[in-house]
Amino acid sequence: MIKTVTDNEEETRTLGERLGKFLKAGDVILLSGELGAGKTRFAQGIAKGLGCTSNVTSPTFVLINEYPGDITFFHADLYRLEKADLDEIGLWDSTEMGVLVVEWPERAGDSFPENALQLSLSFGSRTNERLIEFFIDSEREQAILASGDFK
């Protein structure tokens, strides 16, 4: 596991952007963390790293958003879902065509691909501080993390 601390929203976004630059179509990123932990901020950074210029907003209500970029960015949020059936919201239609970021992945249990990159965001001790943890348990995660300095 790799732990990173950011001091404000902008740093959280920048960290996401750095990760985004190393991603390729087919990658799935799972973002866990409570309300306000910075998941959408981090996802906005990933989008920028993928070359998306659109304004990325929270997908809570619409469940999934799609943004054009150098690599297409799919942004899903399972917050409103209970016992989510991922086939139903068309989550897997997206994965092959671009990078998929999923907020509140817990709602869908363990039905994600083995190679999904798992991250957890939480509140630090100071108001704007956030703790970001990368769980490394797949080869793809090791490869991504080896290609960038996220410590």
Partner 1 sequence: MLVLAIESSCDETAAAVIENGRKIHSSVVASQIELHAQYGGIVPEVASREHLRAIIPVIKQALEQASCSIDDLEAIAATRGPGLAGALLVGYNTGKAIALSKSLPFLGVNHLEGHVRANWLMEEPEPLFPALALVVSGGHTDLVFMKSENEYERLGGTLDDAAGEAFDKVGRLLGLPFPGGPAIAKEALSGKASSLKLPRAWLPGTADFSFSGLKTAALHSVRKETWSPTEIAWEFQESVVDVLSGKVANIANDLSAREVLIAGGVASNQRLREELRSRVSVPVRIPPPSLCTDNAAMIGAAASPRLSRGERTPLNVDIFSTNDWSVV
Pick 130 or 141: Cβ nearer partner 1: 130
Binding site for partner 1 (CB under 8 A): 34-36, 40-41, 55, 57-58, 60-67, 79-85, 88-90, 127
CA angle, residues 33, 34, 40, in degrees to nearest 5: 70
Residue whose CB is less far from partner 1, 109 or 148: 109
CB of 68 to partner 1, least distance (A): 9
CB of 88 to partner 1, least distance (A): 4
* Closest C-alpha among 96, 100, 88 to residue 29: 100
> What are the φ and ψ backbone dihedral angles of 128, each rounded to 5 degrees?
-100, 0
Residue length of the chain: 151
- Both tokens of 72, joined, read 């297409």
Q: How far is the CB of 52 from partner 1 (least distance, A)?
A: 12
Beta-carbon-side half-sphere exposure of residue 6 (alpha carbons within 13 Å): 23
Nearer CB in complex with partner 1: 99/144: 99
